[in-house]
Amino acid sequence: MDKPESMKVGSADDLLQLVSFNIGDEEFGVDILQVQEINRMLDITRVPNAPEYVDGVINLRGKVIPIVNLRRRFGMTRKERDKHTRIVVVELSGQVVGFVVDAVSEVLRISREVTEPPPSIVGGVREEYITGVGKLPDRLLILLDLEKVLTSEEGGHLKEVA
């Protein structure tokens, strides 16, 4: 029996290794190489005058890390945190940032062949944040470009926050 197209393995260059997570009803994927760690919710310290999508900062093993709420960044309504809420810690342009997501799903490998360029708007998320859409047998996976989720100016604001 043949494997579905998304499960066929070509060269390593043909595969995307992703961490997938949920925000609302949408499932997103980010390059696993950007992800440093995934944590349960920690106490977040509010920071005065921070942008509204910044929940505050956390102390992660002695390092102060700004926390961005992806729901707010994408213009979605806030949601009460629950046992599934996670902080995905990534490094963007040399700065460590945490992103609050509703839940982390899995680590997966998909073939580049099953990805398409992004439509102009997906799940309320603007095209500029998206590198593509992965068509999996039972669902669509929105591939996020975390570097573009924050502009360089916003990244500078996060450095000030931390």
CB atoms within 10 A of CB 144: 25
Whether the predicted pLDDT of 156 surpasses 90: no
Rounded Cα–Cα distance for residues 162 and 94 (Å): 13
Rounded Cα–Cα distance for residues 143 and 27 (Å): 9
Phi first, then psi: what are they for 138, rounded to 5°?
Answer: -120, 5
pLDDT band for 124, please (50, 70, 90 cuts): low
Which tokens hold the place of 89? 């810690």
- pLDDT for 9 equals 45
Burial class (CB in 10 A: 0-12, 13-18, 19+), 22: middle
pLDDT band for 120, please (50, 70, 90 cuts): low
Q: What fold, for 5-161?
A: OB fold (Dihydrolipoamide Acetyltransferase, E2P) (2.40.50)
Amino acid in position 136: L
Whether the predicted pLDDT of 7 surpasses 80: no
For the chain, the residue count is: 162
- pLDDT for 158 equals 66
Q: DSSP assignment, residue 66? A: E
Domain-wise residue ranges, the chain: 5-161
124 vs 130, more confident: 130
- pLDDT for 1 equals 45
- pLDDT for 117 equals 86
Which tokens hold the place of 44? 């977040």
pTM equals: 0.83
Which tokens hold the place of 30? 């980010």
- pLDDT for 55 equals 94
